[in-house]
Amino acid sequence: MTAETVLFFIVAACAIASAVLMVMQRNPVMSAIFLIGNFFTIAFLYLILQAQLLAVLQIVVYTGAIMVLVVFVIMLLNLGDEKKLTERFDIKKVLGVILVFGFLLEMLYLFGISEETRVYAGLNPKAVAVGTVESMGKAMFSTYLFPFEITGLLLLASIVGAVVLAKRRL
């Protein structure tokens, strides 16, 4: 067992633990905090896979932007009395649990047991190259330079639009 594998198992355990803890919380704010922890551990997993850009984007987009939205919603909904939420037995929940375990078994079979699909001969160097910030930047500022510039115009239009629609006095 290499150090990398050990690290992977530790991080994966943290990811699972934070995910489970997030679902089990009664307080939505505590849930949100565990969700952040989950996002971070997943970003760590991407780093182990040498996908640096993906790891950074995961932190910027999910822990940054998405979490702000989640916190906003919690704040706006004013969820005060969480004690009222009582668990009831429900056919939908049973179906959900069956689906989750079915999916888990399928994944285990596909990636762990089946000989046909278990092609796990290390990382493809091409795939590694795509995941780096360097290759992404090169593509963005050469072939895809024009779309990149147009995205600027699109963002400007959205900002102006938001101001026009929402500002009290123009």
Partner 1 sequence: MSISFQDVIATGPITVVSIVALVVLIVETIRDKTELLTCWISITGLVLAMIVAFTSIENTGTAYSGMVNTGGYANFFAVVFCIAGLLSTMLSKSYIQKENIEHGEYYFLLLLAVVGMMLMAAAADLIIFFLGLELMSVTFYVMAGFVRKRQASNEAALKYFLLGAFATGFLLYGIALLYGSTGTTNIESIISRADILPPNTTFLIGLGLLLIGLAFKVAAVPFHMWVPDVYEGSPTTVSGFMSTGGKAAAFSALLLIFAPKLVNLVGPIQEVLAVLSALSMIVGNVIAISQTSIKRMLAYSSIAHAGYLLTGVVAANASGTKGILFYLIAYTVMNIGAFGVLSTFESKDRQNLTFDDYAGLSSKKPVLAGLMALFMFSLSGIPPFAGFFGKYYVFVGAVEAGYTWLAIVGVLMSVVSVYYYLRLVVLMYFKEQAVISEPTVSSLGLTALVISGVAVVELGIFPSTVLNIIANFF
H runs (alpha helix) in the chain = 3-24, 28-48, 52-57, 67-77, 91-108, 125-130, 133-140, 145-166
Our CB check for partner 1 shows the closer of 111 and 148 to be: 148
Nearer to partner 1, 85 or 165 (CB): 165
Given the rule CB under 8 A, which of 4-12, 28-36, 100-108, 161-169 is the region that contacts partner 1? Answer: 161-169
**Total residues in contact with partner 1, by rule CB under 8 A:** 21
CB of 46 to partner 1, least distance (A): 21
Q: How far is the CB of 136 from partner 1 (least distance, A)?
A: 15
Q: How far is CA 50 from CA 53, 97, 122, 165, in A?
A: 9, 33, 12, 43
- Of 2 and 142, nearer to partner 1 (C-beta) is 142
Nearer to partner 1 (CB atom), residue 69 or residue 164: 164
Cβ neighbours of 60 (radius 10 Å) = 11
* Least distance from partner 1 to the Cβ atom of residue 155, Å: 9
Of 8, 34, 7, 29, which is closest to residue 19 (Cα–Cα)?
34
Burial class, 89, CB count within 10 angstroms (exposed 0-12 / middle 13-18 / buried 19+): exposed
Please report, as residue ranges, which positions from 119 to 158 form the binding site for partner 1 (by CB under 8 A): 141-147, 149-151, 153-154, 156-158
- What is the spatial distance between Cα 137 and Cα 140, in angstroms, rounded to a whole number? 5
164 binds partner 1 (CB under 8 A): yes
Alpha-carbon distances of 66 from 44, 46, 101, 117, 161, rounded to whole Å: 18, 18, 27, 34, 22
Residue 61 CB, nearest distance to partner 1 (Å)? Answer: 17
Name the site residues for partner 1 (rule: CB under 8 A): 141-147, 149-151, 153-154, 156-158, 160-161, 163-165, 170
